[in-house]
Chain A
């Protein structure tokens, strides 16, 4: 029996690959149902499963594969013509077969009658029309002959493939050992460098070892490489089903299926790619009618294109659908409170698109069966980044959306840059590196300034936030070297990219490019987010591999200023020199009010009808809770009118007490204004003073005082001393 189990394991693996083949062949067959070679292959695959299953007495598998085989037999002899529905029935049956094959011990529990019935119906209906079936189809249960089939029936495939199965564990061991061999070779060459000429015959031996080791490493890496086709294979089926489900016409084009990647990357790619393709089909491609209205062909096109660039593979997933409407996206971002108006106004289009990769984002206008069910793009991003890859988005409204994935070819060995800070070496993966900048003190084109307490580099008319590696990691600062004049100090900055975001990492020195063998972080260091792994450098020392994302979060880096144009830069400069950014809005009257943006948690758009009256107070529902509304005009010396517009806004300020909302009618802008208020003009509770914007008077709200008046029970007068009118930032705020 024990031996039997070993064979069963082999059967599971072998039958599994047959089932994958059957699926892809069936889908090919849908394009050309007369392709004899395909039908022959299908027949052989099913037959081989049937044979081995018969040997183990797996009756359900035998019966279902028998039904399929009979149908293929009839097709082969021209007795049956396969239409779309028949192919669907075969695909379904193949899926069921796949389930049974995965766990043969439980295969007898599965009800296959539905599938065999469908297949038999196709067979009998068609054979009635055509006479003389029988060639290649035997309705008898498998004969004893079949029992020998696993060996006999498989000979062609075995000969063609010319391969053996090796366990992944063994391959991984080989990979690791080879990696060590490479390092050993490096050490050997370094150590014997001085003796090459003195010891006779040493030089050719060393050269030989060098070259053999390199070749060995390449070959071992290849053993783990698999073609992308292994993942792409399942997409035709997905698109076929999606187009039916969504009632859209979609064509799928695939390029570069032969491009190879490390097995582990191939495996982790399946989910993210499937997600992107479902997204493209569901949200990207429009309904046929809609497409015709906009002058496109009825049929939507989804393209998957893989290509190799150096040590990286790039995969494009593109659709020619509706594209992403940046303005719609902006609204969504504001609504969800992921970014503020002001932050958005400073972003470039590409960065705004990048926002859909953030957690908690789903662009789905409505949740459909296919996507928008909470498995968001952030999961795709996380998966890709975990493999050391990056993802970029490009979209044009009306023209389509393209996602570009960049992946390292192998997980184990990556090219990296060795940098030094605080006297220690670190490895930085090249995939994160965009460029290196040297900043000399006094250089006008590239100057480092402190804005809002963060160092920022002016570079190519952009502002790049800067982190110092020594500071993030709390390393001893580099001591000024004797002999060098300090005012000519050069700072080396690596520009790192994470998706659309960029930041600069200042390091003490840049050492070398090195191909490194990535080892996982030891268990006790898993919590350190600044590192993605460990490696052993050529000199035998261990170096930590830096994680760009982790460094940014450890350094509490914020990206609002990234990519602003000179005019916006001006705004930031003002913000840095004592001005404040204010959100300008109006209530029901004509006055313009201002509230410091840093006090605003979020702004919600609501409908007038959403407001509920409970007692004398007004509420709206917000995130499943009721939020009390305050109408500022009722507590301030400003004019009051009825709201005519259905659309209103609620400002939710940052407060430590129970959340409240300020009901307002219109948002004008968020601008940087002088904080130098004229406090003489208006002396009223709730108003701090006045300032000017576009020759209009702006009344600056004193939030603590307003809340004190509007909701004394929660924001009572007892705190008035501390909350006072101190620029709204004292006390509990």
Chain B
């Protein structure tokens, strides 16, 4: 059984494997990086660690980011590849859920490729669907 953390992004419900999440920080102050790709919001100082903050809505919908200061951010655990920390902006976090197998659904065929390649699976919750994000794909191994 897998546990996911759900979160809302532009009104849509998403989920990620809760085991990958280090912490959720609110009202973060970040530094913009002039010249950085459009989906990178900036860099955030998490107790002396530099965290690269992404706008995954931009990656999913392939557009530029417009995030005001002070957003809420999910920070991922350090993958073992180095001292790199990654995080991404959410509108608001949801719950931590145990996913039952019968909730899982394949990705509908009509989703755009741009979007679909970053989604691992769809999970049907009580009254809505959550798209579970493939973190490796999203941030590139």
Contact = CB atoms under 8 A, between A and B. Distances in A.
Interface of A: 179-180, 183-184, 422, 424, 473-475, 519, 522-525, 528, 530-531, 534, 536, 540-544, 554
B44 interface: yes
Max count, chain A CB within 10 A of own CB: residue among B29, B45, B47, B84 = B45
Contacts of A541: 29, 31, 45
Interface of A is mostly: mixed
A183 B48 contact: yes
Contacts of A536: 45, 48, 50
A422 B52 CA distance: 21
B35 A534 contact: no
A542 B31 contact: yes
A528 B33 CA distance: 9
A424 B34 contact: yes
Contact of A528 (B35, B45, B48, B139): B35
Interface residues of B, number: 24
Max count, chain B CB within 10 A of own CB: residue among A522, A536, A540 = A522
Nearest to A425: B31
B45 A542 contact: yes
Interface of B: 29-37, 40, 42-45, 47-48, 50, 52, 54, 82, 84, 86, 139-140
For the complex of A and B, the 10 pairs showing the least CB-CB separation, nearest first, are A473-B34, A180-B48, A542-B31, A522-B52, A542-B43, A542-B45, A528-B35, A534-B50, A536-B45, A524-B52
B34 A523 contact: no
B31 A524 contact: no
Given A424-B32, A534-B43, A542 B50 contact: yes
A473 B33 CA distance: 9
B84 A424 contact: no
17 contacts: A422-B34, A424-B31, A424-B34, A473-B34, A475-B34, A522-B43, A522-B84, A524-B36, A524-B37, A524-B52, A524-B86, A524-B140, A525-B33, A528-B36, A542-B43, A542-B44, A543-B31
Nearest to A540: B45
A179 B35 CA distance: 28
Contact of A525 (B40, B44, B139): B40
Contacts of A543: 31
B124 to A, nearest CB: 33
A135 B34 CA distance: 74
Contacts of B52: 522-525
A530 B45 contact: no
B7 to A, nearest CB: 21
Contacts of B43: 522, 534, 542
Contacts of B37: 524
A363 B61 CA distance: 54
A413 to B, nearest CB: 14
Nearest to A529: B35
Contacts of A184: 48
B40 A524 contact: yes
A179 B48 CA distance: 9
B35 A473 contact: yes
Contacts of A179: 48
Contacts of B45: 536, 540-542
Contacts of B48: 179-180, 183-184, 536
A522 B50 contact: yes
A525 B45 CA distance: 16
Nearest to A535: B50
Given A180-B48, A534-B43, A523 B35 contact: no
A183 B49 CA distance: 12
Given A473-B34, A542-B31, 17 more contacts: A180-B48, A183-B48, A422-B34, A424-B32, A519-B50, A523-B82, A524-B36, A524-B140, A525-B33, A525-B36, A530-B34, A530-B35, A534-B43, A534-B50, A536-B50, A543-B31, A544-B33
